Amino acid sequence: MQNLAPLDQPVFAVPQENLIPVNDYLGRMMDIPPSRMFLINKSLKVFQDRNPNQPIYDASQGDGGASLPGVLPEILEKAAEMQIKHGTSYDMPYGTDDFRRSVIEDYWKLDASSGITPANVVGTAGGRDALVKAYQAMLSLGYGRIGDVIIVSRVPWISYNWGPYGIGANVLYAPGRPEEGWAYSEDSIKECVEFVSKSGRKVACLVITNPDNPTGLTLSVERQVSLAKRALELGVAFVLFDWMYHYVTDEQPMDLNSFLQNFSKEERKRLIFLDGITKSLGGSNIRNSHLIASEDVIKFIVSRASHTVMPSYFSLAVAMAAYKMGYDKATRPIVEPTNASRKVLQKFLDEHHFTYILGKGYYAFIHVGDWLRAKGWKDTEPMGQYFAEEFGLAIVPGAFFSAYGGEWIRFSYATPVERTMGALERLVQGLKSLEVS
């Protein structure tokens, strides 16, 4: 029988050898700022109050549930029926077995050669939840240390800056140039690994986002494979592929079956894939995503999820209903208008001689440095407020993502064509007003 401490004596919950060492890093961390993404379009109210009969244009958020029809009513109705039938008792920390199978069979249509089974899937409460769980797994199962590094692009999605940092990882901006969309190269990954090693750190993860947020940059399958393989060769513990936007394309979405064939069995254990319904289905407030990873990673995540955050059944049901409908059909109300807007956007930007980055997904990244200098602004943060209040146009200042995006704006075209064109016309009006002010 195990020897227990006397009842009148304090005792730690874990053995002495498993106690977390005292460390003052929490007291030395920067304060993590709240995301300003949710506040940008609030400035539109100033314009509305002044111009009650004029339309406003929100080209800031990538939220198909707000700017486009969002999840089809028949999918929501089917999910509600499933919820009623399923009941409201606890599910497993990974979701349900049905959800796992649906991700494999209905969505990705994975065959046996992939080596991926339902046990390699975990459902999460949206992309941010998935990422935090993945970061924790990669830190712990990579080199088992707080303070190791997550590599992101020079101008990353806002939450890539702070999500890893909040759970004890340091974030490193990779070398990159704007004329190349700040894309990684094999050499830049090598520079990152060598750079962090000088401070006694290792790289727990390289994040590859395709299509990218905020820039919209899209990488070919061959580039993604080459970058991932180089990272693994250099000792990067894991490569995480964020494919949340990959279905929003006028080409073909990613094919996980064929993609995995580029990696050995051992290499696949160090790959993690993130996808979900937030963008392609317009299900922003449904909060459903999934991770595909090795069984060791999934077991790690599931164990901790049982004590923290588990996905709601309704979110799983919405995803399953959409997958079983046929995801091409389910996503049509989001994908088709966005694809159409991308075409007119590119034509407009070319005709007006903008410098820009435009791949697939939801976003264009547009350079506005000349107008900043004309106004004497150091970056695009005041431009965002100015456009919203004076011209009824909400965009995202590139400065919100990192200082390296300070002369750029993110423009969301996940809207119908006429709304995209209206927003572009307001953009030109706003920029012209800076020339003469």
List pLDDT tens digits, range 284-313.
999 999 999 999 999 999 999 999 999 999
Q: What is the DSSP code (8-state) at residue 362? A: T
Query: What CA–CA distance (Å, rounded) separates 196 from 113?
Result: 36
Query: What CA–CA distance (Å, rounded) separates 321 from 237?
Result: 35
User: Torsion over CA of 319, 322, 328 and 329, rounded to 10 degrees?
Assistant: -150
Query: What CA–CA distance (Å, rounded) separates 421 from 144?
Result: 50
Query: What CA–CA distance (Å, rounded) separates 188 from 191?
Result: 5
Identify the CA nearest to 200 among candidates 174, 170, 230, 239.
Answer: 170
List every span in the chain annotated with CATH 3.90.1150.10.
Answer: 36-70+331-436
Tell me the two tokens of residue 413. 């075209």
Q: Is residue 267 a contact partner of residue 238, using CB atoms and an 8 Å limit?
A: no
Tell me the two tokens of residue 89. 């008792």
- The residue length of the chain stands at 437
Q: What is the CATH number of domain 36-70+331-436?
A: 3.90.1150.10
DSSP collapsed to 3 states, 286-338: CCCEEEECCHHHHHHHHHHHCCCCCCCHHHHHHHHHHHHHCHHHHCHHHHHHH
Query: Tokens 């979701």 — which residue?
Result: 95
Q: What amino acid is encoded at 47 in this protein?
A: F
Strands 393-394 and 396-397, how do they pair? Answer: unpaired
- The CATH number for 73-327, chosen from 3.40.50.2300, 3.40.50.10860, 3.30.470.10, 3.40.640.10, is 3.40.640.10
* CA atoms within a 13 Å half-sphere pointing along the CA-CB vector of 165: 15
* CA atoms within a 13 Å half-sphere pointing along the CA-CB vector of 284: 12
Query: What CA–CA distance (Å, rounded) separates 342 from 414?
Result: 9
Residue ranges in the chain whose pLDDT is less than 50: none
Query: What CA–CA distance (Å, rounded) separates 341 from 416?
Result: 6
Q: What is the pTM of this model?
A: 0.96
| pLDDT attached to residue 36 | 77
User: Alpha carbon of 307 to those of 155, 281, 302, 304: distances in Å?
Assistant: 34, 29, 9, 5
Q: Is residue 319 a contact partner of residue 99, using CB atoms and an 8 Å limit?
A: yes
Q: What is the DSSP code (8-state) at residue 252? A: -
| pLDDT attached to residue 34 | 85
In sequence order, what are the beta bridge partners of 363? 412
| pLDDT attached to residue 64 | 83
| pLDDT attached to residue 1 | 57
Q: What is the DSSP code (8-state) at residue 403? A: G
3-state SS class at 221:
helix
User: Torsion over CA of 421, 422, 427 and 428, rounded to 10 degrees?
Assistant: 70
Helix axes 332-351, 417-436, angle to 10 degrees: 30
Q: Is residue 376 a contact partner of residue 362, using CB atoms and an 8 Å limit?
A: no
Q: Is residue 290 a contact partner of residue 103, using CB atoms and an 8 Å limit?
A: yes
Q: Which stretch of DSSP H or E encloses residue 159?
A: helix 158-166
